[in-house]
Structure 1
Amino acid sequence: ARAILNEDHIVHTSLGTIRGVPLKFQNERISAFLGVPYALPPVGIRRFAKPEMVQPWSGELEARHQAKTCFLTIDTSFPQFPGAEMWNPPNSIGEDCLNMNIWVPANHDGSVLVWIFGGGFFSGSPSLDLYDGTVLAAMKHTIVVNINYRLGPFGFLYLGDDSPVQGNMGLLDQQAALRWLHEHIGSFGGDSSRVTLFGESAGSASATAHLAAPDSYSYFSKIIANSGTIMNSWASRTPDTMLELSLRLAKRLNCTSKRGDASSIHNCLRSIPASTIQAEADYVSNDIGLPMTFAFVPVSADKNFFKGNVFERLRSRNFKKDVAVIFGTVKDEGTYWLPYYMSRYGFWFNHTISAEDPKNKALITRDQYRQSMKAFMPYFGGSPLVEHALLHAYQSMSPGQTTSEHFRDGVGRFLGDYFFTCSLIDFADIIADNVYGPVYMYYFTMRSTANPWPKWMGVMHGYEIEYAFGQPFARPSLYDKNHLETEKRFSELIMNLWMDFANTGTPATYWPKYNRIERKALELGEESTYGKHRILVDIHGSYCRLIDEAKTVAGQVFECRTRSDVTIRNTIGGSISIANVLISVILLQGVL
Structure 2
Amino acid sequence: MLISILITILIPFSLHANDATDKGEYTFTQIYTLKNEAQVRGTILKINETEVYQFLGIPFALSPLNTSRFGTPKPATKWPDLYNATFPARACMQAYSERGFENKYYNLSKNDQSEDCLQLNMWVPQPISGESSKGEFQVQVSEPKDTKNEKKGVLVFIFGGGFRFGSPSLDIYNGSVLAAKTGLIVVNLNYRLGILGFAYMSKGDNVTGNMGLLDQQMGLKWVHENIEKFGGDPNNVTLWGEGSGAICASAHLFSKGSENYFQKLILMSGSINSLLAAKEPSFVDSITRQTALQMDCFKSTEQKNHKEIFECLIQKNASELMQASEKFSIQVDMPTILGENIILNDTYFFNGSLYFKLLTGKIKKNVDVLFGMPIRDGAFYLPILKDSKKYGCVYDKVFSYDENTCQFNASTYYNFYNLTRVTLRLNDSAFDNVINKWYYVTNDTQSMRENATRFLTDVTGGCHLIDFARKVSTESHGTFYNYYFNASSSTNKWPTWMKSTHGDELDYAFGLPFRYPDEYNTKGNLEEEKMLSEKIMNMIKKFTQKKGFYSTWDKFTDSYRRGTIINRNFDPENIFAIVYDIEPQECRELMPFLPKYLKDHGDLKAIIQQPDFNDTDFKDYFYEGISYRNESYYYSGNEDVYYEAQDDGGSEPTY
TM-score by length of 1: 0.89
Match of 2:382 among 338, 349, 355: 338
Greater CA drift, 375-384 or 166-175 = 375-384
Q: How does 1:129-528 map to 2 (within 5 A)?
A: 129-160=171-202, 162-257=204-299, 260-289=304-333, 291-341=335-385, 342-357=388-403, 360-386=404-430, 388-396=432-440, 403-479=444-520, 480-504=522-546, 506-528=548-570
Instruction: Write out per-residue CA displacement over residues 396-447 of structure 1, whole angstroms, 9 at most, x where no aligned residue.
Output: 57xxx97211111111111110111100001000111111111111111112
Q: Which of 78, 82, 99 is the matching residue for 1:60?
A: 82
Query: Could you tell me which residue of structure 2 aligns to residue 95 of structure 1?
Result: 115
- Tell me what 2:585 maps to: 542
Residue 11 in structure 1 maps to residue 53 in structure 2: no
SS state of the match for residue 215, structure 1? Answer: coil
The one-letter amino acid of 2:487's match is M
Residue pair 2:378, 2:458 contacting (<8 A) in 1 also = yes
The question of 1:43 aligning with 2:65 is answered yes
The worse-fitting range, judged by mean Cα deviation, of 84-93 and 145-154 is 84-93
Number of corresponding residues: 553
Deviation at 1:208, TM superposition (A): 0.4
Give 1:77 deviation, angstroms: 4.4
Deviation per residue, 1:189-210 (Å, 9 max, x gap): 1111111011101110111000
What displacement does 1:8 show? 3.3
- Whichever residue aligns with residue 107 of structure 2, its letter is N
Q: Which amino acid aligns with 2:106?
A: W
Q: Which residue of 1 aligns with 2:139?
A: none
The alpha carbon displacement at 1:10 in A equals 2.3
In the alignment, the residues of structure 1 paired with residue 334 and residue 205 of structure 2 have an alpha-carbon distance, to the nearest angstrom, of 29
Q: Secondary structure of 1:154's partner?
A: helix
CA distance in 2, matches of 1:585, 1:364: 15
Say if 1:157 and 1:308 are closer, same or farther in 2 by CA, change over 3 A.
Answer: same
Which is worse superposed, 69-78 or 164-173?
69-78
Counterparts of 1:585 and 1:98, CA distance in 2: 50
Kindly provide the CA deviation profile for residues 363-394 of structure 1, in whole angstroms up to 9, marking residues without a partner as x: 31111111111111124423251453244235
- What's the secondary structure of 1:526's corresponding residue? coil
Please give the alpha-carbon distance, in whole angstroms, between the structure 1 residues aligned to 2:274 and 2:195. Answer: 20
- Cα distance in 2 between the residues matched to 1:85 and 1:282: 23
| SS of residue matched to 2:586 | helix
Q: Which runs of 5+ in 2 are unaligned?
A: 1-26, 128-149, 599-620, 630-655
| 1:312 alignment partner AA | F
Partner residue of 2:165? 123
1:284 Cα shift? 0.9
Amino acid at match of 1:46: S
Q: Aligned pair in 2 of structure 1 residues 32, 370: CA closer, same or farther (>3 Å)?
A: same
Q: Which has the larger radius of gyration?
A: 2
Letter in 1 for 2:479: P
Which range moves more in the overlay, 154-163 or 420-429?
154-163
Deviation at 1:73, TM superposition (A): 2.8
2:245, 2:547 → 1: CA distance? 21
Q: Which deviations, in whole Å up to 9, do the C-alpha atoms of 1:542-588 show, x marking residues without a partner?
A: 1201212444xxxx4789xxxxxxxxxxxxxxxxxxxxxxxx98996
In the TM superposition, residue 525 of structure 1 has moved relative to its aligned partner by: 1.1
Separation in 1, partners of 2:626, 2:360:
44
How far apart are 1:234 and its partner, in Å?
Answer: 1.1
In structure 2, what is the Cα distance between the partners aligned to 1:9 and 1:101?
A: 17
Distance change >3 Å, CA 557–CA 47, structure 1 → 2: closer
* Partner of residue 72 from structure 1, selected from 74, 94, 99: 94
Do the aligned residues in 2 keep the contact of 1:229 with 1:424 (CA within 8 Å)? yes
What is the Cα deviation at residue 7 of structure 1? 6.9
Structure-1 separation of matches of 2:91 and 2:98: 17
Residues 394, 411 of structure 1: 8 Å contact kept: no
CA contact (8 A) 1:149 1:173 kept: yes
| Cα drift, residue 532 of structure 1 | 4.4
Contact in 2 for aligned 1:255/1:269 (Cα 8 Å): yes
Q: How big is the shift at 1:481?
A: 4.2
Per-residue CA deviation, residues 237-293 of structure 1 (Å, 9 max, x unaligned), is: 101101110110010011124651111111000001101101101111012345432
Q: How large is the Cα RMSD of the aligned pairs?
A: 2.4
Which residue identity lines up with residue 361 of structure 1 in the other structure?
A: T
Q: In 2, distance between residues paired with 1:464 and 1:8?
A: 32
Q: Distance in 2 between matches of 1:533 and 1:266?
A: 57
Amino acid at match of 1:543: E
1:564 aligned partner = none
Cα displacement string for residues 304-338 of structure 1 (whole angstroms, at most 9, x for unaligned residues): 00001111111010010011111112101111111
**Equivalent position amino acid for 1:181 in 2:** V
SS at match of 1:523: strand
| Counterpart position of 1:569 | none
2:429 alignment partner, SS class: helix
TM-score scaled by length of structure 2: 0.80
Q: Residue 384 of structure 2 aligns to a residue in which SS? A: helix
- Going from structure 1 to structure 2, the CA distance change for 1:419 and 1:8 (only over 3 Å counts) comes to closer
Change (3 A) 1:438 1:272: same
Asked if 2 retains the 8 angstrom alpha-carbon contact of 1:11 and 1:187, the reply is yes
Conservation of the 8 A alpha-carbon contact between 1:490 and 1:529: no
- Indicate the residue corresponding to 2:130 in structure 1: none
Quote the Cα distance in structure 1 between the aligned partners of 2:306 and 2:628: 54
Q: Is the 8 A contact 2:73 2:218 kept in 1?
A: yes
- Whether the aligned pair in 1 keeps the contact of 2:70 and 2:199 (CA below 8 Å) is yes
1:129-184 CA-to-partner distances (Å, cap 9, x unmatched) read 11000001111111100000000000001011643110000000000000111111
Pairwise CA distance, 1:343: 3.8
Return 458-467 or 219-228, whichever deviates more: 458-467
Counterpart secondary structure, 2:279: coil
User: Residue 280 and residue 557 in structure 1: after superposition, are their counterparts in 2 closer, same or farther (change >3 A)?
Assistant: closer
Q: Counterparts of 1:320 and 1:296 in 2: how far apart (Å)?
A: 26
Change in CA separation of 1:36 and 1:126 when aligned onto 2, cut-off 3 Å: same
Whether contact under 8 Å (2:95, 2:319) holds in the other structure is no
For 1:290 and 1:135, locate their aligned partners in 2 and report how far apart those are by CA, in whole Å: 35
SS in 1 for 2:75: coil
